[in-house]
Amino acid sequence: MESQEINLMYGQARRYLASAELLRREHDDDSAMSRRHYAMFYTAEAFLLAHGQTFASHREVISTFAKVLVKGGSVPKEMHQ
């Protein structure tokens, strides 16, 4: 079940990136950035779930991504910034 959920999150991230590219081509930069933000969010959430972490809020995902993965050395600092 967990791997299926992870795959769904990665799929959502890929769809958001594709949407961001379409919006960028239409010069809708604000909307494109929003889609990119959520693509990164779903990627981070999937990555954390793969490490046994689940969360109820956006803030918790971002905070734990920094605490567990960046400070733990699994992900470069630049990925959190």
Instruction: Say whether pLDDT at 1 is over 80.
Output: no
Output the pLDDT for position 55: 83
With beta carbons less than 8 A apart as the criterion, state whether 20 and 32 touch.
Answer: yes
Neighbours of 1 (CB within 10 A): 5
Res 28: pLDDT? 97
The verdict on pTM exceeding 0.85 is no
The predicted structure's pLDDT at residue 81: 64
19 and 35 Cβ atoms separated by less than 8 Å: yes
Instruction: Please state, in angstroms and rounded to a whole number, the distance separating the CA atoms of residues 43 and 58.
Output: 12
Burial 4-21 (b: 16+ CB within 10 A, else e): eebeebbebbeebbebbe
**pLDDT at 80 (0 to 100):** 64
The full set of domain ranges for the chain reads 2-79
